[in-house]
Structure 1
């Protein structure tokens, strides 16, 4: 049986990407085709290589132009693209080739705190400034609008009184690591 092949796109430390790599490392059904980053010095670049995963680094211009991404995905027979902290807008050409097959994780309960510029600490600061009682993560399909694709799953946590940026980030990372790989599996493996 042919394995389902994933491409993971990441721009930073890649803790979610590494978690996904570990989760599927011994899978009989899913394999990682490659990790793509738009930053040569991103921690995920060396970390993924240390896990034995092929890594491709592209420029922001290559992301926007889309051609190289399309070619890489076709050449590697990629079935699904997973965005794990990839801080670039996905080109419409790639979205058109992978309808409902590009999955993103967002560190808020969408539709709240989504859209351009809302990522990482920016989201958590807004949650704290607005004195929200809960926050969480949203795993969703990608469409042509930032953070507006169909929601696959959401998981929440309480925002405690006296919550700090660091403590909220920690809670969100725990939710991401506990849930993202399993949601991917349940979404792509029928």
Structure 2
């Protein structure tokens, strides 16, 4: 399923998929990059409908598929992904995928890591913790992943203020704007650099 003129992105999403939507929009008519597939562990994820709208193949998998078989890996390999983007995906990625796609899996986290990361720190939980702690700022971290939650090498951090009287929901909206603005650009940059390096090699 690889087109020689296109770099392939595969998105993993567990929920609404607003970042998946931004990637689908950004790369819909891109000359050299495309979203090749979307994978989800949640049959109710709205991200699946977003993929269908853009005629992007979508795959649903369960815990057994992901952690105790090579089923997801085999499906992924059909798309020859140049980059796998975790866009609101909540499970820890297993070793078989990490080995198969080294330095090709990235995540976006709605806080300034290394603070407010780790298991269970996602969505509203993150923003509530930041507000409760009285932090002056929050933001996003885009990073490569490894075998631990939110511990991979940083690619980009962007910041926004935490305002007096902020609720977790108000902060979440501000952080989401950063996510939507920067994730497509980082993905595009990484794949452009990858393409340039391959041409040199």
Say whether the fold is shared (TM-score over 0.5).
Answer: yes
Moved over 2 A (4+): none
Q: 2:80 aligns with which of 52, 58, 77?
A: 77
Find the partner of 1:186 among 186, 189, 194: 189
Number of corresponding residues: 190
Report the Cα distance in structure 1 between the residues aligned to 2:69 and 2:137, rounded to whole angstroms.
37
Q: Return the alpha-carbon distance in structure 1 between the equivalents of residues 140 and 107 of structure 2.
A: 10
Scaled by the length of structure 1, the TM-score of the pair is 0.97
**Retained in 2: the 8 A contact 1:66–1:91?**
no
Q: In the aligned structure 1, how far is the partner of 2:145 from the partner of 2:68?
A: 18
User: How far apart are residue 9 of structure 1 and its match?
Assistant: 0.2
2:32 pairs, out of 29, 32, 40, with 29
Q: Which moved more, 1:74-83 or 1:130-139?
A: 74-83
- Which residue of 87, 94, 119 maps to 2:90? 87
Partners of 1:61 and 1:11 in 2: how far apart? 16
**Gaps (5+ residues) in structure 1?**
none
Structure 2 gap segments, 5+ residues each: 194-201
User: 2-side partners of 1:136 and 1:100: how far apart?
Assistant: 23
Q: Contact 2:142/2:155 (CA < 8 Å) preserved in 1?
A: yes
Q: Tell me the CA shift for residue 96 of structure 1.
A: 1.1
Instruction: Verify: 1:98 aligned to 2:106, yes or no.
Output: no
Q: Is the 8 A contact 2:65 2:71 kept in 1?
A: yes
RMSD of Structure 2 on Structure 1 (CA): 1.0
2:41 corresponds in structure 1 to 38
Q: 1:114·1:147 contact (CA, 8 Å) conserved in 2?
A: yes
Q: TM-score, normalised by structure 2?
A: 0.92
CA deviation map 1:43-81 (0-9, x unaligned): 111121011111101112212225112101211111211
